[in-house]
């Protein structure tokens, strides 16, 4: 199946957009979830995205699905520049599901040729090796061509998930190349770039490129990632909220505003739209603590007018099948629904 066309999207079935046509200078207050079907490559192939996820999200009042993608899902192992059509069709279907249910779809390279925040390490380094950057630009150009003409109200690109703590000039160089590759195929595509330091640090050097930027809502990690094996070497005591680390060292709503929100507000005042691409609390964080912490973040984002995407929808950070031991779950069509978290998110 070829990529979706503008004529498909403009059909009579298209729901009226929930938000005005977005711009990189002012992103809509999209609210939703990360969907993980292509997050990591699975032996034997990855499953398609689920229509029920889109249906339930939309029915609960959400309008944004971020799709963190691994390029290994659609790449021929013998040639990382060759794209495999069956897996790409699943992404086509997700874009169509977004159209059908009025949910904006944001495509993100979570694992790009040459970089991923998670192990295993890539064989080449996107920030240093021309071959890796050429391959990454090739993939983004193919996506831009495939989805050319689909309105930005329905589709955006998020270039690279959580670039590490590297010199800003190196990041700007790589992003510039990827933006050029995309705009050569689709000059009007809405493009978003994650902040540096794993999405935490605004990047003023990207302002001339006309991009939105994506931040995170994971701080403090002692709350968001309590008990998560991915945090190397952590042996933290059970957290509270506010979180008192030592005398005079307290994380609370005011500190979130000062240290997490204000640097991004400064960027926003320079004409850059901001969205929170990931946030949430792992299922080992006590539920009452997670909800109190999440409520403060949500209230701050309401003040700023920023949207957000919870990591994830189904799974250890999500509202469905999270595996928490301290939640009185509601049965939802065979799934375990965290109703308290869901209702708080709906209000946020």
- In a domain, residue 8? The reply is no
Domain ranges, residue 246: 24-316
- In a domain, residue 239? The reply is yes
User: Does residue 289 surpass a pLDDT of 70?
Assistant: yes
Query: What percentage of the chain carries pLDDT values higher than 90?
Result: 88
Instruction: Give residue 236's pLDDT band: very low, low, confident or very high (50, 70, 90).
Output: confident
Residue 43 CA from chain centroid, whole number: 24
Mean pLDDT to the nearest integer, 68-86? 92
Report the CATH number at residue 290. 3.20.20.80
Structural domain total, the chain: 1
The size of the chain, in residues, is 348
CA distances from 160 to 55, 113, 263, 286 (A): 27, 10, 21, 31
> pTM of the prediction?
0.93
Instruction: Give helix 168-185 / helix 130-146 axis angle, nearest 10°.
Output: 40
- In a domain, residue 88? The reply is yes
- In a domain, residue 63? The reply is yes
**Other C-beta atoms lying within 10 Å of the C-beta of residue 292:** 15
Task: Enumerate the β-bridge partners of residue 193.
Answer: 213
Q: Which two tokens stand for residue 316?
A: 């250890």
Q: Which two tokens stand for residue 152?
A: 């930005």
- In a domain, residue 132? The reply is yes
Instruction: Give residue 247's pLDDT band: very low, low, confident or very high (50, 70, 90).
Output: confident
- In a domain, residue 216? The reply is yes
- In a domain, residue 194? The reply is yes
- In a domain, residue 248? The reply is yes
């Amino acid at each position: 199946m070829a990529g979706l066309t503008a004529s498909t999207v403009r059909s009579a079935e298209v729901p009226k957009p929930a938000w005005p046509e977005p711009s990189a200078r002012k992103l809509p207050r999209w609210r939703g979830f990360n969907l993980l079907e292509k997050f990591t490559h699975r032996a034997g192939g990855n499953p398609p995205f689920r229509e029920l996820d889109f249906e339930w999200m939309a029915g609960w009042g959400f309008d944004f699905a971020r799709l963190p993608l691994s390029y290994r899902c659609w790449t021929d192992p013998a040639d990382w520049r060759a794209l495999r059509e069956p897996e790409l069709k699943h992404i086509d279907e997700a874009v169509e599901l977004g159209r059908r249910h009025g949910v904006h779809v944001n495509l993100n390279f979570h694992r790009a040729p040459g970089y991923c925040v998670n192990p295993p390490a890539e064989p080449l380094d996107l920030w240093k090796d021309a071959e890796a950057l050429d391959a990454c630009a090739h993939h983004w150009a193919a996506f831009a061509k495939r989805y050319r003409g689909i309105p930005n109200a329905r589709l955006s690109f998020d270039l690279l998930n959580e670039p590490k703590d590297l010199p800003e000039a190196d990041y700007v160089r790589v992003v510039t190349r990827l933006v050029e590759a995309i705009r050569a195929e689709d000059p009007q595509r809405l493009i978003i770039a994650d902040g540096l330091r794993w999405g935490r640090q605004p990047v003023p050097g990207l302002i001339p490129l006309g991009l939105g930027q994506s931040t995170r809502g994971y701080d403090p990690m002692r709350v968001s990632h309590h008990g998560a094996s991915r945090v190397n070497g952590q042996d933290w005591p059970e957290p509270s909220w506010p979180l008192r680390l030592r005398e005079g060292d307290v994380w609370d709503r005011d500190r979130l505003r000062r240290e997490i929100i204000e640097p991004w507000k400064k960027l926003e005042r320079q004409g850059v739209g901001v969205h929170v691409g990931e946030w949430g609390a792992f299922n080992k964080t006590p539920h009452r603590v997670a909800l109190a912490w999440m409520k403060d973040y949500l209230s701050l984002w309401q003040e700023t007018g920023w949207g957000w995407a919870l990591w994830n929808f189904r799974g250890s950070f999500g509202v469905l099948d999270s595996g928490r031991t301290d939640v009185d779950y509601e049965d939802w069509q065979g799934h375990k629904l965290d109703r308290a978290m869901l209702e708080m998110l709906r209000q946020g």
